[in-house]
């Protein structure tokens, strides 16, 4: 199957109708890739709103009923609830269904979900690098994935047909598909996504601890580098706990970088301080335009 072919699912279930889940539903509908979309979530009023806006066609507060007879089930809730939800729905899934996700942490979670859902359904881990610090359906966009990368994380046991199907689907939504192992995904994203979120949260906490009244004088610089501290604390709590093996080490690396800068200042070593900043500038400039 290639990206030019239509991937059609009669029924799609979105488990967690937030920004990513709602955008996924809109993207499918816009491209005619599904017959109907059923939503599941904890917040009935949010699901009602999603229905009124045409994001979903129906909803259910019971995950078993919401996912029953679905060809594709998308886990778009907080990663900490993936395992429990998978255990609840595993026995009632349609034979041959594909279950996937949009979570920003993979690792052992992928293997666990594969074991829970097999042989009834095939699990394919996926992570579209899209969205932002704001959650919810108000900013949902059918073009959210256009031009973005989507990392797919198969294991040696993942059904190859299901992997090809999901790769073709994400390409149909405008994403560039990249394949990584679950472990490599968590190492890479831990460095460039998970660690920065921790740092952003603690930069705000540090400023508040120094003098909370200072925050009212924050300018564009502070707001830019701490923007992601407006992200869901519940979501990032789950990510940090699920990827703690990498993140504890990465936090140690960051602490060493701060200690080096502190040492340059304490010893009046302006040359080393400038060289440190210059190295960072060169690395950052190499990323190109945002």
Q: Residues 59-102: pLDDT tens digits?
A: 999 999 999 999 999 999 999 999 999 999 999 999 999 999 99
Residue 43's pLDDT band (cuts 50, 70, 90): confident
22: closest CA among 3, 7, 40, 35? Answer: 40
Q: Does 166 have pLDDT greater than 90?
A: yes
Please give the average per-residue pLDDT across 191-203, as a whole number: 98
State residue 133's pLDDT score: 66
pTM here? 0.92
Mean pLDDT computed over 172-198 = 98
Angle at which helix 233-242 crosses helix 195-211, to 10 degrees, equals 120
Output phi, psi for 86, to 5 deg. -60, -40
Instruction: Look at residue 287 in the predicted model and tell me its pLDDT.
Output: 92
CB contact at 8 A, 111 and 132:
no
In this predicted structure, the answer to whether residue 198 has a pLDDT above a threshold of 50 is yes
> Which pLDDT value is given to residue 6?
63
Predicted local confidence at residue 3, as pLDDT: 44
Contacts within 8 Å (CB) and 24+ apart, 1-4: 1/164, 1/165, 1/168, 2/168, 3/167, 3/168, 3/171, 3/172
- Is the fold of 9-180 the same as that of 184-285? no
Cβ atoms within 10 A of the Cβ of 167, count?
23
pLDDT at 28 over 80: yes
Lowest mean pLDDT: which of 3-12, 18-27, 89-98, 104-113? 3-12
- pLDDT bin (cut points 50, 70, 90) of residue 131 is confident
Lowest mean pLDDT among 51-65, 124-138, 179-193: 124-138
Quick one: 184-285 is in which CATH superfamily?
Answer: 6-phosphogluconate dehydrogenase C-terminal like domain (1.10.3660.10)
- Which sequence spans correspond to the domains of the chain? 9-180, 184-285
Minimum mean pLDDT range among 17-26, 80-89, 280-289: 280-289
**Given pLDDT bands bounded at 50, 70 and 90, which one contains residue 7?**
low
Residue for token pair 């059918």: 142
Between CA 20 and CA 60 the distance in angstroms is 19
pLDDT score of 288: 76
The model's confidence at residue 45, banded by pLDDT at 50, 70 and 90, is very high
Residue 2's pLDDT is what? 45
The CATH homologous superfamily of the domain defined by 9-180: NAD(P)-binding Rossmann-like Domain (3.40.50.720)
Burial of 129 (0-12, 13-18, 19+ CB in 10 A): middle
At 135 the pLDDT is 72
């Amino acid at each position: 199957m290639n990206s030019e072919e239509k991937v059609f699912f009669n029924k799609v279930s979105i488990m967690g109708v937030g920004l990513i889940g709602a955008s996924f539903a809109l993207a499918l509908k816009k491209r005619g890739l599904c017959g109907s979309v059923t939503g599941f979530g904890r917040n009935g009023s949010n699901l009602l709103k999603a229905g009124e806006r045409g994001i979903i066609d129906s909803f259910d507060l019971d995950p078993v009923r919401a996912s029953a007879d679905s060809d594709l089930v998308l886990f778009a809730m907080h990663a900490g609830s993936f395992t429990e939800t998978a255990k609840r729905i595993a026995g009632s899934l349609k034979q041959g269904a594909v279950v996937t996700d949009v979570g920003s942490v993979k690792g052992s979670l992928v293997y666990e979900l594969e074991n829970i859902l097999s042989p009834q359904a095939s699990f394919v881990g996926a992570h579209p690098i899209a969205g932002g610090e704001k959650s919810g359906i108000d900013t949902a966009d059918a073009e959210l994935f256009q031009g973005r990368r989507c990392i797919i994380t198969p294991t040696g046991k993942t059904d190859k047909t299901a992997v090809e199907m999901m790769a073709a689907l994400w390409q149909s939504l405008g994403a560039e598909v990249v394949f990584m192992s679950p472990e490599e995904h968590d190492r890479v994203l831990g460095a460039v996504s998970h660690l920065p979120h921790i740092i952003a949260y603690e930069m705000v906490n540090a400023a508040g601890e120094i003098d909370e009244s200072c925050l009212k004088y924050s300018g564009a610089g502070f707001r830019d580098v701490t923007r992601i501290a407006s992200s869901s604390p519940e979501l990032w709590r789950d990510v940090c706990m699920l990827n703690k093996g990498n993140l504890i080490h990465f936090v140690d690396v960051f602490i060493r970088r701060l200690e080096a800068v502190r040492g340059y200042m304490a010893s009046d070593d302006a040359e080393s301080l400038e060289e440190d900043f210059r190295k960072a500038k060169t690395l950052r400039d190499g990323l190109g335009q945002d």
